[in-house]
Chain A
Amino acid sequence: MQKTNLLCMALAMFAIACSKSDTDTPVVNPPEDTTTVDVKTGVYTLVNLAADTTATSGAAAKAFYYSLEDQKTIPASQVQTANWDIAFTGTYNSTILINNGKAKYSPGYGGPGLGGIYLVKDAAIDAEYYVGPQKPFKTIPARRLFDSAFAHVKTVPVSDDQLLTNDGIGLDYFGPSTDGWAFYDFYGLQFPDANPDSVAHICYSMPRTLIIKTAKGHYAKMVIYSIYKGAPELPTRSNKPGFVTFKYAIQKDGSKQLDLK
């Protein structure tokens, strides 16, 4: 079980950092926590949402709470408020949980959160790279597939009662988990001929869209491009984990219309 720490190191207590984006959506300069921005209906890309430099690997197990509504990190002391929408948590900190006050296993249990989460599997997109559970990809999914998967989701495809509230969404079929948003290549199966020091224990993001219902009840969709600094399309062990780059769209009018630009 050694060397599983790469992901463990990832996604720790987060602060916010920015860098250039390769994507076509506007790069958001996340504000200081003291300021508030009015996040309007639209599409945003957050780049290198980074681990707090004061975090230790021991502290990396702590959940990190983030507000899609306000684009800022929320301290754990506010876990039972509607101030946060997604938490990066779980054993690898790669499991995304939402804020639902009625769900016993949501970190927001007992609070006012109305959140939910759902993983959209797009058969046409999957066919381009995905072979099956616990199998290496046909090819590392290109960035355009993430954007296509995201664009294909034009509305919330399920009714509210099908949104998960107790369950998080994390690694795809890693151990006993089921459908997820990332392939954790524990053994370096993706590149069997490469030096294992470089290709084992890599987390490859998958072009699958997550539907998020925010704590306040607004609908959003997101794709996670990378958990490595600089969001390399082809990560190796030389890349530094703990920096999340993702795109999301949020609909503030209360509707499920997510065909946003």
Chain B
Amino acid sequence: MRYTIHICLLTTALLTIVSCKKDENNDTKTSYEDGVSTVIYDLAGDTEASVADGVEGKERRPFKPFYFKLKGKLQSWDSSAANRQSASWDIAFTDVYNALVYVNDGSNPNGPGYGGPGKGLIVAVDSPYSKVTVAPAMEDMKENNLQFTGWDGYPQVYNTGWYFYSLTTHLAIPIKNRTFVIMTAEGKYAKLELINVYQGNPPAVTDLYWPAPYFTFRYYVQEDGSRNLKTP
């Protein structure tokens, strides 16, 4: 009898924990807010381009890139050389689904900021966003600079991406617990988590025609020039 009650209590407790967890999972938006980071929800990319044929409201053409300034949350569609070769942006969202993300690096001949003043660098850290508390030393940033992040393992095995592309579902699946430490155009350390390309940041997309690209991402820029990236 006593055991039965205990089991009952235990079961109830477990159910409570499970249901609490469920609530937290449903509340995905607030879980990204830590009080100091900037969280961007559903920033629309070039939603009028399409890789599929005959999708209403979309045309079949390459995606137009856009540029984003972390400080000020400024999105720009200006692909002129004057804008590309300036420090007015920190990360560019390019190519298919705008999902290929470059930093503003004036020295990278294959990047959009080539020839400009951008000091951009990007490295990947396989750790949750809040656990990344300090940026690697400058030498390590330069040594491991990815230049861009997109499709994991493409074009070379060692190209570290922010999403997997599933060959069975043809969907992009963001890689969890991968954080990018970047250097802004002006040379400030920042950390960046690219969270989703699908509208509403759904936990699991099963529909090929789920609205995209709508970017959810968050970042923290250390304005004092130090490598401290601690967030709550």
Residues in A lying within 8 Å of B, measured CB to CB: 1-5, 8, 57-58, 60-61, 90-92, 95, 97, 104-105, 134, 166-168, 170-171, 174-178, 186-189, 196-197, 200
Contact = CB atoms under 8 A, between A and B. Distances in A.
25 contacts: A1-B51, A1-B170, A3-B51, A4-B51, A4-B170, A58-B167, A60-B167, A90-B155, A91-B165, A97-B157, A105-B158, A166-B158, A167-B156, A170-B155, A171-B155, A174-B155, A176-B100, A176-B150, A176-B159, A177-B154, A178-B110, A187-B61, A187-B62, A196-B53, A196-B54
B153 A90 contact: yes
Contacts of B96: 1, 175, 186
B154 A168 contact: no
B214 to A, nearest CB: 14
Contact of A177 (B51, B147, B155, B168): B155
Contacts of A186: 51, 62, 96
Interface of B: 51-54, 60-62, 95-97, 100, 110, 147-148, 150-151, 153-159, 165, 167-168, 170-172, 208-209
Nearest to A8: B167
Given A57-B168, A58-B167, A175-B95, A187 B51 contact: yes
Given A92-B154, A176-B95, A189-B62, 15 more contacts: A1-B97, A2-B51, A2-B208, A3-B53, A4-B170, A91-B153, A166-B157, A170-B155, A175-B151, A176-B100, A176-B155, A186-B51, A186-B62, A187-B62, A196-B54
A196 B60 CA distance: 8
Contacts of B150: 175-176
Main secondary structure of the interface of A (DSSP, over half): loop
A5 B170 contact: yes
A175 B100 contact: yes
A188 B60 contact: yes
Contacts of B110: 176, 178
A2 B156 contact: no
A3 B151 contact: no
A128 B72 CA distance: 48
A57 B96 CA distance: 22
Given A175-B151, A186-B51, A61 B167 contact: yes
Contacts of A170: 155
B148 to A, nearest CB: 5
A27 to B, nearest CB: 32
A200 to B, nearest CB: 6
Q: Of A4, A174, A175, which is in contact with the most chain B CB atoms at under 10 Å from its CB?
A: A175
B166 to A, nearest CB: 9
Q: Which 8 A-B residue pairings sit nearest by Cβ, starting from the closest?
A: A177-B155, A91-B154, A105-B157, A196-B53, A58-B168, A2-B208, A8-B167, A2-B170
A171 B54 CA distance: 26
Q: Of A1, A57, A92, which is in contact with the most chain B CB atoms at under 10 Å from its CB?
A: A1
A5 B147 CA distance: 27
Contacts of A105: 156-158
Given A3-B51, A187-B51, A90 B154 contact: yes
A200 B153 CA distance: 24
